[in-house]
C-alpha cells in the first residue's frame, strides 16, 4: 500500500493505490490534500533517473569543494 506525506502535519498516511493523484483526508489532522506517492515512504526504492544524476554530482561537488575550503581558510586565518 503506498503512503503519502500530509503537507500540513508531515505525517505519513497509507492510502489505496486508487487514491493516488486524488484528494484524500489526512487521518491525523483531517486536512485534505492531493495524494502523491513519496519515493522514500514506498517499500520499493525509486532508482534515481539519469536526468537527475548530473544535478546530484554538481551538488555533491559543491559540498566537497566547500568542505575542502574550510580547513584551508582556517589555516590562512591562523597564519596571520
Q: Is residue 57 involved in binding Zn ion (CB under 5 A)?
A: no
What lies within 8 Å, CB to CB, of 23 at 6+ separation is 32, 33, 34, 35
Phi and psi angles of residue 25, each rounded to the nearest 5 degrees, phi first: -110, 130
Q: For 5, phi and psi rounded to 5 degrees?
A: -100, 125
CB closer to Zn ion out of 28 and 56: 28
Site string for Zn ion, 4-43 (x = CB under 5 A): --x-xx----------------x-xx-x------------
Q: Which residues bind Zn ion (CB under 5 A)?
A: 6, 8-9, 26, 28-29, 31
Amino acid at each position: 500500500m503506498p503512503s503519502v506525506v500530509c503537507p500540513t502535519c508531515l505525517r505519513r498516511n497509507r492510502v489505496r493505490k486508487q487514491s493516488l493523484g486524488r484528494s484524500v483526508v489526512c487521518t491525523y489532522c483531517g486536512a485534505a490534500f492531493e495524494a502523491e506517492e513519496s519515493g522514500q515512504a514506498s517499500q520499493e526504492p525509486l532508482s534515481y533517473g539519469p536526468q537527475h544524476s548530473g544535478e546530484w554530482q554538481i551538488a555533491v561537488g559543491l559540498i566537497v569543494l566547500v568542505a575542502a575550503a574550510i580547513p584551508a581558510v582556517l589555516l590562512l586565518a591562523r597564519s596571520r
